[in-house]
Amino acid sequence: MTRKKQTDRVTITDVARVAGVSKTTVSRYLGGQYHVLSESTQARIKEAIEQLNYRPNQMARGLKRDRSYLIGMVMADISNPYSTAVLRGAEDVCKQKGYSILVCNTDNDPAKEREYILMLQSHRIDGLLINTTGKNNDFLRELANDCTPVVLIDRKVPVLGFDTVGLDNEQATSEAIHFLLNRGYKRIAYVSEPIAGVSSRRERAAVFTALADQYGYSADDLYEVNLQSPERLSEVLDHFLQRTQGEKPVIFAANGVVLLKLIRALQSKGISVPEDVAVISFDDTEWAALIGSGITAIAQPTYQIGMTAMERIFQRMEGDGSPAQNIAFAGKLIIRGSTPPVV
């Protein structure tokens, strides 16, 4: 297999030579300025390009035009199906505009987040989508002085003038809790990953707390668990279920990852859903319907979130200077067998 040297790549100069015109003319053709080109010239250039299998060099083009045709996407956890669903929406918009996406996974590590953002800046990305770790607020604030449009996904950063796209956590959480209350549940636990710094977690938890007094369940049953340590979740379950005095308990998982660990913990303890405890969760994962008689879940319009976020980027790139928007989509409650009416 012979390998062509990179430097042997065909350039606009080659095309110009073969077509018998100047680089400028070829460049005009590439730029789609057909109205200033004669038919015959167009035809000759077209042929030369095909014959040579020419592909314009985006680095050169980008250097000159001060655009990279690259969008950065920094996600806290790419393994979360939420992230890939958002990515798909974002990508479809990008593709249509001739842009490509640089994907970075921070693993919820703020240091990685900073490093990746610096790296992306080096590539002169034209836009940046961030699902932030929530622990780089000062650093992110500096991005605001930058020229590059930034859209935050799911997680907001206080004070900043960034566009934000995500779920209407207030509506979704409230709807879910009212649903549980209507079904007759009086003892509700809310289990979340660590809330500090992550706006969506905070917003959801706040609704749980705010409605507690009003509706007579205990705000104390808000549990933060670090999912790295399974013991903690086990303790939380013991603590909560022990407190349920005859009343049917329900556990509200703050996202799909929590739900996964929760189900695992319940199974290992021999606790049945929904006989012993009811379950409801954020994120309608692909497998939620398959667990037992199905897990009641709040579905997010993830694809649309990705699309919308990317559309904001392009609007900003095209000069939209309006104040930062906060776009929140409604969640949809999918009722399944894990939350039967309390008899």
Partner DNA sequence: TTGTAAGCGTTATCAC
Partner DNA sequence: GTGATAACGCTTACAA
Q: Does 85 bind a copy of itself (CB under 8 A)?
A: yes
Stretch that binds DNA, among 62-70, 83-91, 175-183, 329-337 (CB under 7 A): 62-70
Asked if 146 interacts with a copy of itself (CB under 8 A), we say: yes
Q: Does 96 bind DNA (CB under 7 A)?
A: no
Query: Contact with DNA (CB under 7 A): which of 2, 7, 145, 242?
Result: 7
The Cα 323–Cα 142 span in angstroms is: 18
Nearer Cβ to DNA, position 56 or 301? 56
DSSP string, 171-201: HHHHHHHHHHHHTT--EEEEEES--TT-HHH
Between β-strands 163-167 and 326-329, what pairing exists: parallel, antiparallel or unpaired? parallel
Backbone angles phi, psi at 278, to 5 degrees: -85, 160
Cis amide bond preceding 56, omega within 30: no
275 touching a copy of itself, by CB under 8 A:
no
Please report whether residue 95 would count as binding a copy of itself according to CB under 8 A. yes
Residue 46 touches a copy of itself, criterion: CB under 8 A: no
Residue 292 beta carbon to a copy of itself: minimum distance, rounded to whole angstroms: 9
Place of tokens 């409605």: 211
Query: Residues in contact with a copy of itself, total (CB under 8 A)?
Result: 65
Task: Report if residue 53 touches DNA, rule: CB under 7 A.
Answer: no
CA pair distance 306, 145, nearest whole angstrom = 24
- The CA distance from 161 to 174, in Å, is 27
Nearest to 128 by CA among 145, 152, 106, 108: 152
Q: Is 298 in the site for a copy of itself (CB under 8 A)?
A: no
Give me the amino acid identity at 157.
Answer: V
| Shortest Å, Cβ 161 to a copy of itself | 5
Whichever of 97 and 178 has its CB closer to DNA, that residue is 97
Measured from the CB atom, the residue of 203 and 283 that comes closer to a copy of itself is 283
| Spatial separation of the C-alpha atoms in residues 187 and 248, rounded to whole Å | 7
Sheet of 222-224: strands edge to edge? 222-224, 187-192, 249-253, 278-282, 296-299, 332-334
Question: What is the contact surface with a copy of itself in residues (CB under 8 A)?
Answer: 1-9, 55-60, 62-63, 66-70, 78-79, 81, 83-85, 87-88, 91, 95, 98, 100-105, 112, 115-116, 118-124, 144-147, 161, 260, 263-264, 267, 285-287, 289-291, 321
Q: What is the binding site for DNA (CB under 7 A)?
A: 7, 9, 11-13, 20-28, 30-31, 35-38, 40-41, 54-57, 60-61, 63-66
